Structure 1
């Protein structure tokens, strides 16, 4: 059977590459720290030695719109074009031609249908920055095949947070049952509190540091009961109009299971808090040592982080270089 070697959940700030390769006098003050943290996080995936990546993200109205926005969709292709023109222009993201894994795509699709999730599918899916960004940050060589899963976190009506949790649990069961000797890593990105185009967009930190701290604690401790009793569509909208991307982080915790994370890191950046989290479902001594090395390099934490709203408010200087999504 397949070996789920790692589950990674993070935010996906599209200006990472542009900010950390800028050598001008306008270089972001936090760029060095940001790069150090991402490079440390990258090692938590490398140590797992995956053969294929199941990648969870959302389409930012690039190819899905209000005339046809699927609730859940899986890609089923041998190759995937990645990065849209506006992402090249605004964020400086490179284009890719990514390999797919048709065997795992087909197996997951059938298994999810059997589990009661009526997935759409695509043979012509183009990948946007919700998946390109984690490739840039945790697998910049882009040398592994992917199975992309897209969720609706933008266009009401949206599935409930519990539906995202249940989907994560179903994906875990299906990966565990896949009759393959491959090592699988699951990588998903979403949002903490986030405001796009609204009055709280250009603050020194995310629009709601208290929610961000609480959300990281819930995720890092595997506290799904607290999430499901506290998080609703309305409560997410109240802390930022794009906060519904938090549901993709719930989905990733569902794949990992209700357990403590093995690696947790975070960074307050202009108008957002970045988060990096890794679980090792079948943790070995080698993986534990890798997490420890990454934590030392990043000054991050092993296991849960009990952040505070006050800590979240100690933020970096305001920058209006760009808007994360």
Structure 2
């Protein structure tokens, strides 16, 4: 059986690459500290020595739109073209070609179906910065195959927070059941409080710093009960019109097994709180 060796959850700020590769005189004041934090976070993945990455993100209306918008989708392609034109233009993101693992994608799709999650699938998926950014920050050498899973966090009606958590648990089980000796790391990205295009965009902090601090503590402690008690679609909307990206953090807590995080870091970047979490499997832990 495959071994889940690490679970990581982070924000996917698209300006990181441009901010840290610009000439020194053009870099933002926080660039050096931001790069230091990312490199420390990257070491938590390297330590796990994975063979394959299961990557959870959310399409930003690039390939998935309102004419056909699944709640959850898995990629089953041999490779994935990455980065859309507007992401190159606005964020300076490079193009990538990511290798897929068709066998694991097929197995995971069937396993999730057997666990009552009817995922859509794509054999021609193109991925955007929710998956490109963690490649840049966590595995810039881009040397591992991926299994991408997309969630809908933008187009109501959205699945419930409980459904996101349960999907994380199902992904965890699928990884553990995969008949292979591969070492698997699961990486998911979302965000804390966030406002896009609204009146609270580009404030000195995220639009709801109180929620940000509380969310970090919930995730640090693995307190899924508190999250499910206090976090609703309505509460996330009040915290910022794009705060529903937090659902992907909740999903990753399900993958991790709702345990205390082994690594936690955060950085306030003028309009959003960046956050980074890593969970390693606990020996002898039973669920």
TM-score normalised according to structure 2 size: 0.97
Cα drift, residue 261 of structure 1: 0.3
Residue 290 of structure 1 corresponds to none
> Is 1:124 the counterpart of 2:124 in the alignment?
yes
**Would you say the 8 A contact 1:193–1:236 is kept in 2?**
yes
Mean CA deviation greater in 18-27 or 90-99: 18-27
Residue 254 of structure 2 corresponds to 254
Residues in 1 aligned to 2:49 and 2:25: alpha-carbon distance in whole angstroms: 38
Go from structure 1 to structure 2 and tell me whether the alpha carbon gap of 1:104 and 1:282 turns closer, same or farther (over 3 Å shift): farther
How many equivalent pairs are there?
A: 284
Residue 266 of structure 1 corresponds to 266
CA RMSD, 1 decimal? 1.0
Cα drift, residue 81 of structure 1: 0.3
Residue 318 of structure 1 corresponds to none
Which structure 1 residue ranges, 5 or more long, are not aligned?
285-325
Go from structure 1 to structure 2 and tell me whether the alpha carbon gap of 1:191 and 1:266 turns closer, same or farther (over 3 Å shift): same
Cα drift, residue 56 of structure 1: 0.1
Write the mapping of 1:111-260 to structure 2, written as runs, cut at 5 A: 111-260=111-260
Residue 79 of structure 2 corresponds to 79
Residues in 1 aligned to 2:75 and 2:25: alpha-carbon distance in whole angstroms: 42
Residues in 2 aligned to 1:152 and 1:92: alpha-carbon distance in whole angstroms: 25
**Would you say the 8 A contact 1:4–1:282 is kept in 2?**
no
Residue 59 of structure 1 corresponds to 59
- Give per-residue Cα distances to partners, 1:208-264, cap 9 Å, x unaligned: 110000001111101010000000000000010000000000000000011100000
- Give per-residue Cα distances to partners, 1:19-58, cap 9 Å, x unaligned: 0112243321100000000001000000100000000000
Residues in 1 aligned to 2:60 and 2:76: alpha-carbon distance in whole angstroms: 20
> Is 1:31 the counterpart of 2:63 in the alignment?
no
TM-score normalised according to structure 1 size: 0.86
Moved runs in structure 1, 4+ residues, more than 6 A?
none
Write the mapping of 1:299-310 to structure 2, written as runs, cut at 5 A: none
Residue 100 of structure 2 corresponds to 100
